[in-house]
Structure 1
Amino acid sequence: MRHKNSVFHDLLKRIPWSVFDRLVDEHGADKHVRRLSTKDQFIALLYGQLAGAVSLREITGGLESHAARLYHLGARPVSRSTLADANAKRSSAVFAGLFAELAAKAGRGLRRAMGE
């Protein structure tokens, strides 16, 4: 059977991971972290956003149901308490910086498409 990547995998391919890694290093987001990396947290939260999850339980349940496919994304299922701890303790500066980078990139592309 031929392998086909998921839409979620295609979306994750468009994330500038070098910028993400630089932001993680700048903000020390993975310092003293044992279980859940910032990348795994980002993937879990992005999944929750796209799946329309309204709770951490829905996010972790959805990720658990796709555990075999997460390997191909470079992620793994996460427990609810670990995700809750990461959300509470980890600074959102990495995600804000990533958003700013993506918004700037989208702005340049939009200006180019508009002919300005």
Structure 2
Amino acid sequence: MNNGKYVFAQLTEFLPKRIFDCIVARYHGDKYVRHFSCWNQMLCMIFGQLTNRDSLRDLIVAIEAHSRKTYHLGFGKSVTRSNLAKANEKRDCKIFEEFSYYLIDVARKKRENDNFEIKGKVYAFDSSTIDLCLSVFWWAKFRKNKGGIKLHTLYDITTQIPAFIHITAATVNDVNAMDYIPYESGAYYIFDRGYVDYERLYKIAILSAYFVVRAKSNLKFRRMYSRKVDKTKILQILGISLLDKTPVLELLTSIDYKDVKELNYKQLTFSLF
């Protein structure tokens, strides 16, 4: 008979409880709590994610099936649907958000790649819509008979780990999430054409960062000058000027000679002028 730790306990053993307790104390998460602490709550929710539970009721049924093991799994002496639901509703979500960003930062440092071809951080930003049942998540109304939220993710390409996550209603336009990105000086940010908003992009330049974004087909601009390049190279840099009152950009045209395709990008990199 195996007398060692349960697999779930081994999986969560690496979590730094001392750091978590400091965050909980900062937000007074365990104030007046006797039995079901924030740590117990987090482990219950992790268990629900790893076992693919669909609801709190489903999660509690799974936990009750191992009622004699709950203490050793880290859930506390007893877990009920009411106290778990109350904890999820009342406790500050910033506790778990701050702890998750701490773990992300640790993971990113372990995945740093000094051999990456571009010096500095390179990020890609995009969103994904997560469908929700409207009858259950009535607050997340997206369309007439559909609910949903948007997960806006800043993906660190150099470490291949998400660096920032922002959740909004599915009705929120993607460009609005750009206001919450923690921009870093000297970093590169890659966007799709859905994020073409020149006022927001210009703010990136003010912070001494750079961006690359797909150009929209209706963009009005005129070419100011050209530079000769080796035709065997796939990158051509053209100076351009927009016809309206917006910051000066550079047009990067990547030419795929095999498929004879051109992909137009806008990049704000003053050092190339």
Shift of 1:69: 2.2
**Partners of 2:94 and 2:19 in 1: CA distance:** 13
Give the AA of the match of 2:99: L
Pair 1:13 & 2:19 matched:
no
Q: Secondary structure at the match of 1:15?
A: coil
Give the match for residue 72 of structure 2.
72
Determine the structure 1 residue equivalent to 2:110: 109
Offset of residue 73 of structure 1 = 2.7
Higher percent of residues as strand: 2
1:44-81: CA deviation from partner (whole Å, max 9, x where unpaired): 11111111111101111111111222222332341101
Superposed displacement of residue 115, structure 1: 4.3
SS in 2 for 1:54: coil
Secondary structure of 1:13's match? coil
The structure, 1 or 2, with the larger RCO (C-alpha pairs under 8 Å, 6+ apart) is 1
2:41–2:75 CA contact under 8 A, matched in 1: no
User: Between Structure 1 and Structure 2, which shows a larger proportion of helix residues?
Assistant: 1
- Share of identical aligned residues, percent? 33
Q: How do 1:51-90 and structure 2 match up within 5 A?
A: 51-76=51-76, 77-90=78-91
Residue type of the alignment partner of 2:11: L
The CA distance in 2 between the partners of 1:25 and 1:103, in whole Å, is 21
Distance 1:53 1:99 in 2: 21
Q: Structure 1: 5+ residue runs without aligned partners?
A: none
When the two structures are superposed, what TM-score results if normalisation uses the length of structure 2? Answer: 0.40
Q: Distance in 2 between matches of 1:81 and 1:37?
A: 14
Deviates more, 1:99-108 or 1:5-14: 5-14
Q: Which amino acid aligns with 2:20?
A: F
CA RMSD of superposed structures (Å): 1.5
Q: Distance in 1 between matches of 2:3 and 2:60?
A: 25
How far off its partner does 1:23 sit?
Answer: 0.5
- Report the Cα distance in structure 1 between the residues aligned to 2:35 and 2:106, rounded to whole angstroms: 32
Gapped regions of structure 2 (runs ≥ 5): 116-273
Moved more, 93-102 or 67-76: 67-76
Cα deviation for residue 34 of structure 1 reads 3.7
Q: Residue type matched to 1:4 in 2? A: G
Question: Match for 1:61: what amino acid?
Answer: V
Deviation at 1:5, TM superposition (A): 2.6
Separation of aligned partners in 2, 1:9 and 1:35:
19
Deviations 1:3-31 (A, max 9, x none): 23333111110101010010110110011
1:115–1:3 distance in 2 versus 1, CA, 3 Å: farther
Aligned length: 114
Distance in 1 separating the partners of 2:44 and 2:69? 13
Q: Which residue of 1 aligns with 2:94?
A: 93
- Provide TM-score, normalisation by structure 1: 0.88
Aligned mates of 2:16, 2:9 — CA distance in 1:
14
Counterpart Cα distance in 1 of 2:5 and 2:106: 24
Q: Which residue identity lines up with residue 57 of structure 1 in the other structure?
A: R
- Equivalents in 2 of 1:49, 1:107: separation in Å? 22
Which residue is 1:41 aligned to?
41
